[in-house]
């Protein structure tokens, strides 16, 4: 099944995208696939929680995200423009529970 995601890009433009839940994708890969940001400015490290180029702010309060693991926490502690609701897209697997999730891609750094 596909879920719907609402993603605001770095220019403030909103995109509504469909994301398949059966392809083992993560949020960074969905943003990459949909060209939410130019190549080379998102998912630079390939999804190893090592660059924070997929940092996004989560706007939905009613959706439970997987708990942050140590690597993600450590990366976010060194990244810039970090807010309370920052997460790394590459560490959020696309599951049915995420249907309707709203996120904003953080600035490039």
Partner 1 sequence: MIKTDILIIGAGPTGLFTVFEAGLLKLKCHLIDGLPQPGGQLAELYPKKPIYDIPGYPEVSAAGLVDNLMDQIKPFQPGFTLGEKATDLKKLENGNFLVTTDEGTEHEAPIVAIAGGLGSFEPRKPVLENLDFYEKRGVHYMVKNPQEFEGQDIVIAGGGDSALDWSIVLADIASKVTLIHRRNEFRGALESVDRVKELKDMGKIDLITPAEITAIQGKEKVEALSIQKNDTKEEFNLPTDHFIPLFGLSPKLGPIADWGLEIEKNAIKVDNSLDYQTNIPGIYAIGDVNTYPGKLKLILCGFHEATMMCQSAYQRIHPDKKYVMKYTTVGGVTGFDGSKKQAPKAVVKSLD
Note the residues at the interface with partner 1 (CB under 8 A). Answer: 38-41, 44-46, 48, 50-51, 53, 74, 77-81, 109
Beta bridge partners of 105: 56
Q: Can you give 20-37 as a three-state secondary structure string?
A: ECCCCCEHHHHHHHCCCC
**Nearer residue to partner 1 within complex by CB, 3 or 106:** 106
CA angle 88, 98, 67 (to 5 degrees): 50
Compute the least distance from the CB of residue 86 to partner 1, in Å: 12
Compute the least distance from the CB of residue 77 to partner 1, in Å: 5
Write out the two tokens for 39.
């190549």
Compute the least distance from the CB of residue 51 to partner 1, in Å: 6
**Nearer residue to partner 1 within complex by CB, 38 or 66:** 38
**Nearer residue to partner 1 within complex by CB, 48 or 63:** 48
Q: Are 7 and 31 in contact (CB under 8 A)?
A: yes
């Amino acid at each position: 099944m596909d879920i719907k995601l609402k993603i605001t890009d770095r220019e403030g433009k909103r995109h509504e995208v469909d994301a398949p839940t059966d392809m083992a994708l993560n949020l960074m890969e969905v943003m990459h696939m949909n060209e939410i940001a130019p190549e080379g400015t998102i998912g630079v490290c390939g999804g190893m929680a090592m660059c924070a180029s997929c940092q996004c702010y989560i706007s939905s309060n009613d959706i439970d995200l997987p708990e942050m693991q140590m690597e993600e926490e450590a990366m976010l502690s060194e990244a810039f423009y970090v807010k309370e609701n920052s997460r790394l897209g590459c560490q959020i697997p696309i599951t049915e529970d995420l249907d309707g999730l709203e996120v904003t891609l953080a600035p490039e750094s």
